Structure 1
Amino acid sequence: MSSNIDEAAYVEAGNGQACLAFKDEKQEARFELGVSMMVYKWDALSIAVENGWGGPESAEKRDWVTAVIVDLFKSEKIVDVTLIEETLLYAMADEFDTNVEDDSALPIAAGIIEIYKQCDAQDFSTVEKLYLDWTEKQKSKGSKRIVQVEEDPLNPDASDSEEEEEEVDGEFEDDDSMAVDEVPEINTEPVVDEDGFELVQKKGRRRHN
């Protein structure tokens, strides 16, 4: 994929098709795997999952995000970078109570559009490389990123300067860890915990209704 991001990139269903879903099973399977790999590649979301900002079901919520993106292509005739980016950001705000303001969702969205185009041309090289990179990362995983968020007692809602990130070395097993030969499963149903999606993470940047 090109390092230059085309923010106006989009894909459109043709030949009278009602949506962008692939009719060929291999193309659809590779595309869904590619979307999953791109979602897993999003560092902001990985940190949120590792720190449980979405509650005890954080790992399942990440797979739900993948399903939401895939469903865009199964229900829409046109999908562009902006739509995917906004969907990712809304998911982070709603499910992880986190506002991402570093534009990191943009390359993920653009990458998904590019993967769709490649799968449409039956070119699966990028998807296969992403999966290989992910499996290698799982093998070499030896540290977990812990982000501690402390609230300012004088201004609890201001926290951008309060986030501290540290590396914790040692053997461990993440809740979201998977066997290296196992493809991340896509959960097509929203994850509802016993508290009705009440998030346990304390974030200074809060979502305002």
Structure 2
Amino acid sequence: MSGNVDELAYVEAEKGKASLEFEDEKQMARFELGVSMAVYKWEALDLAVQNSWGGPESAEKRDWVSAIIVDLFKDGKIVDVSLIEETLLYAMMDEFETNCDDDSALPIAALVIDLYKQCQQLEFSTVDSLYAQWKERQETRQSTKDIQIGGDPWNPDVSECEDESDAEDGEQQPPAMVKDMDVDVDVDMEAEDTPEPVVDEDGFELVQKKGRKPRY
């Protein structure tokens, strides 16, 4: 639900300005970071990315969603919560084929408006806080992945079997490994082509001509 969200909140460009884009590059950069962090905070979209509902480029599509929200401020003189919410919902439907009817996009839209107003006053504490929260989430997810990769300490054979099965499933090998395999194959072929020494009745080794490698 909307809760304490001001659904009618909006920002308007100052008189004489063609858009809401900040003239100061650093100021604009902080706002863009804030928008990106707000979009990353949207749990519905995060779930869609984690499950690749938008295909293999789901993460890139999320960054594109942030970009089109920023473009609303670069191209328009008035941006309100409703416009941002609709843009988020349309993007979710078009790129991830997901219909969000739980009002979860509304607080994200209101947050973007609030971030703009703060950046307008050169207040970046909320942007910094959102960025810190995002970094913490990334570190937590990475730690969770490391634990899963490490396997079950109470049943180590399970992780070993999984690793073997992954290799058997045709996992692509790195180029360096492929090169090493080629070298080993060449050495084995040369060793097989070397003829065995022939000794005559007097115990002298006979000199033999080197044979050619077979062609395939």
What TM-score bracket applies, with the shorter chain setting the length? 0.5 to 0.7
Q: 1:137: Cα distance to partner? A: 1.1
Counterpart residue number, 1:37: 37
Deviations along 1:153-192, one digit per CA (max 9) or x if unpaired, are xxxxxxxxxxxxxxxx7249xxxxxxxxxxxxxxxxxxxx
Q: Specify which of 113, 129, 148 is matched with residue 170 of structure 1.
A: 148
Counterpart residue number, 1:71: 71
Aligned partner of residue 8 in structure 2, secondary structure: coil
Q: Distance in 1 between matches of 2:144 and 2:81?
A: 32
Q: Map 1:5-154 onto structure 2 (within 5 A).
A: 5-141=5-141, 142-143=143-144
Q: Which has the higher contact order (CA 8 A, sep 6+)?
A: 1
CA gap of 1:60–1:6, structure 2 versus 1, over 3 A, is: same
Instruction: Detail structure 1 runs of 4+ shifted over 3 Å in the superposition.
Output: none
- Size of the aligned set, in residue pairs, is 146
In angstroms, what is the RMSD of aligned CA positions? 1.6
Letter in 2 for 1:135: K
Deviations along 1:36-87, one digit per CA (max 9) or x if unpaired, are 0000000000000111110111110000000000000000000000000000
Aligned partner of residue 74 in structure 1, secondary structure: helix
The answer for unaligned runs of 5 or more in structure 1 is 145-168, 173-209
Q: Compare the two structures and name the one with the higher helix fraction.
A: 2
Q: Distance in 2 between matches of 1:24 and 1:104?
A: 32
Percent identical residues: 67
Q: Do residues 4 (structure 1) and 40 (structure 2) align?
A: no
Q: 1:4: Cα distance to partner? A: 1.9
Aligned partner of residue 170 in structure 1, secondary structure: helix
Q: Distance in 2 between matches of 1:131 and 1:171?
A: 27
Deviations along 1:1-48, one digit per CA (max 9) or x if unpaired, are xx7210000000013101000001111000000000000000000000
Letter in 2 for 1:76: G
Q: Distance in 2 between matches of 1:170 and 1:44?
A: 24
Give the TM-score taking structure 2 as reference length.
0.65
Q: Distance in 2 between matches of 1:87 and 1:67?
A: 11
Q: Distance in 1 between matches of 2:54 and 2:105?
A: 18
Letter in 2 for 1:170: Q
CA gap of 1:32–1:61, structure 2 versus 1, over 3 A, is: same
Q: Compare the two structures and name the one with the higher strand fraction.
A: 1
Q: Distance in 2 between matches of 1:23 and 1:107?
A: 27
